[in-house]
Amino acid sequence: MGWGACAQRGGGKPTGEVVPTRVLDPGAGAGSGSAADAINFQPGPAGFPVPRDASTVEDTPPDHTFKVPRRQPEVIIELKVNLAQQGFKIDDEYVEDILHTHWYITRDGIAYKVTVAGDTDEHTLIILTID
């Protein structure tokens, strides 16, 4: 897979905040009352947890794009919690810059390539490719 090569682009430290790995622990923060504790998703393509407030921008398998009317950091935290709770594993994470985070995710033998991209209008795009 060519995914690992992408992780080398740009080099240096990420320019945005990286959410600690402990967020992937389904028990982390349980009961803290944060928005990330709530399961707020609908099953998307191949079971991927799409935020409930997302709208479909593109749906041409194997590619799917969703737009969420919220800021990227909030969407990333929510996705990580929902992914962990649904048994997905983030095998590789690459923070390209403050607006682009890339994941290689697996579950039940299915590979998901995901980009979570923010924009200046405080919306977030989730670009999902299922292998």
User: b/e per residue, 26-59, with b = 16+ CB within 10 A?
Assistant: eebeeeeeeebeeeebeebbbebbbbeebeeeee
Contact 24, 90 (CB under 8 A): yes
Q: What span, in angstroms and rounded, lies between the C-alpha atoms of 129 and 131? A: 7
Model pTM score: 0.71
* Average pLDDT in the chain: 80
Instruction: Check residues 25 and 118 and name the one with the higher pLDDT.
Output: 118
pLDDT digits (tens, 9 = 90+) for 68-121: 999 999 999 999 999 999 999 999 999 999 899 999 999 999 999 999 999 878
**Residue 26 token pair:** 């389904």
Residue type, 6: C
- Which domains can be identified in the chain, with CATH numbers? 1-7+53-131 (3.30.310.80)
